[in-house]
Structure 1
């Protein structure tokens, strides 16, 4: 009997220890959740559920159940509305569905939360350390690993990014204010404009937003407002306004907002968008929707100063060569020293001769061009450059296919004639480097389909005859593979 009692006592002690340990775990878990919620509340502002204004603008919020915040102005308006309808204040709880918030869990999504601005400290006036900014030659050397050619464009972007952050840091030092140098990048399709900026975004630890100008319209029309450009930068900066105000914005397809030739209809996606972007490029405080592309009653707004935001605009500008050629051919006349009219017909890089007058004739308004002081052109890709694009960059197309076949333990070899044939076919399509993948996908389809059938295949060599459909690839079995001298 005593043994049974001892067992019961030991069992009860064990169970109580388990309960105590579980309570300790639960309390620690609850403490972590509370600390996490407290940290989140410390970092982000409360936003009014009715007017969508942040706490920094309207002051202290009134918290009601279901995690809903209402500012004092909206609460007072609610009381005034109820009082006007001859409803006593004490009968508010009996209004039924009018004041029922039980079905609402969160007032706004996390993407529309605003980070609180940190209090400025006297000893911490510099927000950027000049020593940590990569030098232009370092940025260009990193871009060289991914982008082939375009030496001038890479040099301009590297210097612009470096000077941009020197400018941000120097503005807090003395009274001399350095103007920002917004850029306009012109180049034929497929020459690497967008890829250049995307590579820059990966290399630099800065908030960088890449947006498209095709969806922009004048305020009040269907489409994205001009402020949506800054809204995307704010999202890239994790809704941190101070961080976004030191960011970079790349606006692609800028030529699509050129002024339309026909003036019978209102140009809501052309000249009106250019005029709306003037204040952004120059530098001004703009109201920006948080977590959305246009302003409406259900989206919170915040103020962003674009004074220190660097803008890079890029576009293909089709038919701009015709405008440049027409301007250059005005010099042609009859005589020994005259220039021939067909002199520029075979010019490959005619965009290098672009001027502000050519852009104005294309449809860009003078006020817009004046806010983009750095204008430069990218080179059209030649046959030799396309061959380098195929094999030289870190993530080159040929390296991707070689890795795919290496997973099947098969070597993929491209001879020099095959590379030249691919480049020649790409030049015929006139879509730049974008044509390379389409050409390779076409002739690699049968190889990628047939190779997994036979485990004895060890190497596949792509030849020029196979690209030109005059023969097939050279296939070697595993026991008959000869070592390559160029590996």
Structure 2
């Protein structure tokens, strides 16, 4: 069969290049090269394949990354344009000292937790300084402040997640995601894998990869990842498969200390869908958990637990689990390991911050300054005056402490009575007065002047 291929001289070079530039395959080639560059692989041959900065089908890609200047190559997986946009955003954020950040927390309504509040303020300041030194001053990675991951632990309703949201999302304005990690499972099983946390961060940053790489991920309910123990688990990995416990913890290991990680750009179940590489060196992870029973776990290790007829009955102190353990238990890695947390994962957190159970005076401040004030404004907008007697406040605070649910218990005790008052008075436009008071040990509602 005769060779029908055209001679080299029969092909017009200019037209061939034009056809190649219009070829839809070019987009996929550029995406492959971007992925190749983001992974930090060797780029010595990239100039040869692109054909130079002024010609060739990939000249736009060549110019975007300024490949002719070796010093201009991105070292953190971000292009020059992405870094420039991040720098512009950081310049718009006011520089706040740790004392200013703590004052802003108080102005935004955060109450109590003085020790944790100050630790969080320093954490937020150091995170912003790391970003400024990286993107504005272009310091080498070795000269940047250390990347920090924190573990907030304490009784439920103590303000762990609330502090994270207020610090980074409301005050500093960086991309912030609060994710319940109990929905995650090991990669390959039904449920979200840990890479979906980066997808949420990407969305919270307006799908700007560079800005997302400066954000904060809050791993809420982190203690619920504690792996279940069984008699079938042997030393090492064991014979049972724990896809929502140890499986997720292993997935978090690389993310908390790695340099980059691929993530899906959509939230569907698409294992073969489009994935983008996220630089991790500036992303901060904050884990929050109650760790109920951790103190008892430590006592079993130390042999202090007593059983039998001669055992002394100890009062239940689970509500103050963190306030009384101090540094001794916070540094007891074996206690966390027996609780079900991998020691390697615990080592990824540079700081463990205890949150104390909220005292009565702090709960009273939260009740008056935030919860009741909000409802008073709502009732006022409906033309109704809301009056809450002093004894009601004491009753609500006492009920919250009895339930051991912290600030969450305040709303649960008060809202049912306010809902009844709203049902009787809202929408009539006749005004009136609502009074909450204590009668026979119970909160009673009196409505005056309403139709």
TM-score (norm 1): 0.66
Could you tell me how far apart the structure 1 residues matched to 2:302 and 2:361 are? 28
> Aligned pair 1:274/2:249, yes or no?
yes
The DSSP-based 3-state class of the residue aligned with 1:261 is coil
The DSSP-based 3-state class of the residue aligned with 2:183 is coil
Alignment of 1:338-487 (within 5 A): 345-346=316-317, 349-352=320-323, 353=325, 354-355=329-330, 356-392=333-369, 396-451=370-425, 458-465=432-439, 468-469=442-443, 472-473=444-445, 477=449
Report how far residue 435 of structure 1 moved. 2.3
> Aligned pair 1:160/2:123, yes or no?
yes
Alignment of 1:65-84 (within 5 A): none
Question: Unaligned regions of 5+ residues in structure 2, if any?
Answer: 1-23, 38-77, 234-238
Q: How many equivalent residue pairs? A: 366
Report how far residue 418 of structure 1 moved. 0.6
- Contact 1:228/1:294, CA 8 A, preserved across alignment: no
Could you tell me how far apart the structure 2 residues matched to 1:329 and 1:411 are? 59
Report how far residue 319 of structure 1 moved. 2.0
Could you tell me how far apart the structure 1 residues matched to 2:133 and 2:427 are? 64
- Contact 2:155/2:321, CA 8 A, preserved across alignment: no
1:212 alignment partner in structure 2: 180
- Contact 2:425/2:432, CA 8 A, preserved across alignment: no
Could you tell me how far apart the structure 1 residues matched to 2:91 and 2:336 are? 38
In structure 2, relative to structure 1, the CA distance for the partners of 1:403 and 1:228 (3 Å cut) is same
Could you tell me how far apart the structure 1 residues matched to 2:196 and 2:428 are? 54
Report how far residue 439 of structure 1 moved. 2.0
- Contact 2:299/2:305, CA 8 A, preserved across alignment: no
Could you tell me how far apart the structure 1 residues matched to 2:366 and 2:176 are? 25
2:106 alignment partner in structure 1: 144
- Contact 1:218/1:268, CA 8 A, preserved across alignment: yes
In structure 2, relative to structure 1, the CA distance for the partners of 1:458 and 1:52 (3 Å cut) is farther
Moved more, 146-155 or 440-449: 440-449
The DSSP-based 3-state class of the residue aligned with 1:214 is helix
In structure 2, relative to structure 1, the CA distance for the partners of 1:49 and 1:428 (3 Å cut) is farther
Deviations for 1:345-365, whole angstroms, at most 9, x for unmatched residues? 558533131323322221111
The DSSP-based 3-state class of the residue aligned with 1:307 is coil
- Contact 2:293/2:318, CA 8 A, preserved across alignment: no
In structure 2, relative to structure 1, the CA distance for the partners of 1:326 and 1:388 (3 Å cut) is farther
Report how far residue 58 of structure 1 moved. 8.4
Q: Residue 225 of structure 2: which of 239, 246, 257 is its match?
A: 257
Could you tell me how far apart the structure 1 residues matched to 2:268 and 2:200 are? 8
The DSSP-based 3-state class of the residue aligned with 1:384 is helix
Question: Unaligned regions of 5+ residues in structure 1, if any?
Answer: 1-45, 60-115, 333-339, 479-487
Report how far residue 151 of structure 1 moved. 1.3
1:186 alignment partner in structure 2: 153
- Contact 1:459/1:475, CA 8 A, preserved across alignment: yes
TM-score (norm 2): 0.71
1:56 alignment partner in structure 2: 34
Alignment of 1:4-23 (within 5 A): none
Report how far residue 329 of structure 1 moved. 7.0
In structure 2, relative to structure 1, the CA distance for the partners of 1:418 and 1:289 (3 Å cut) is same
Could you tell me how far apart the structure 2 residues matched to 1:425 and 1:196 are? 24
In structure 2, relative to structure 1, the CA distance for the partners of 1:408 and 1:272 (3 Å cut) is closer
Could you tell me how far apart the structure 2 residues matched to 1:345 and 1:387 are? 24
Report how far residue 128 of structure 1 moved. 4.5
Could you tell me how far apart the structure 1 residues matched to 2:90 and 2:407 are? 37
Could you tell me how far apart the structure 1 residues matched to 2:216 and 2:284 are? 5
Could you tell me how far apart the structure 1 residues matched to 2:355 and 2:339 are? 18
Could you tell me how far apart the structure 2 residues matched to 1:323 and 1:188 are? 16
Could you tell me how far apart the structure 2 residues matched to 1:425 and 1:47 are? 67
Q: Residue 199 of structure 1: which of 166, 174, 179 is its match?
A: 166
Report how far residue 49 of structure 1 moved. 9.6
Q: Residue 95 of structure 2: which of 128, 133, 141 is its match?
A: 133
> Aligned pair 1:228/2:196, yes or no?
yes
Report how far residue 416 of structure 1 moved. 1.6
Alignment of 1:315-330 (within 5 A): 315-326=289-300, 330=304
- Contact 2:93/2:172, CA 8 A, preserved across alignment: no
- Contact 1:47/1:53, CA 8 A, preserved across alignment: no
Superposed CA RMSD in Å reads 3.7
Could you tell me how far apart the structure 1 residues matched to 2:296 and 2:277 are? 43
Higher-Rg structure is 1
Report how far residue 154 of structure 1 moved. 1.5
Moved more, 439-448 or 146-155: 439-448
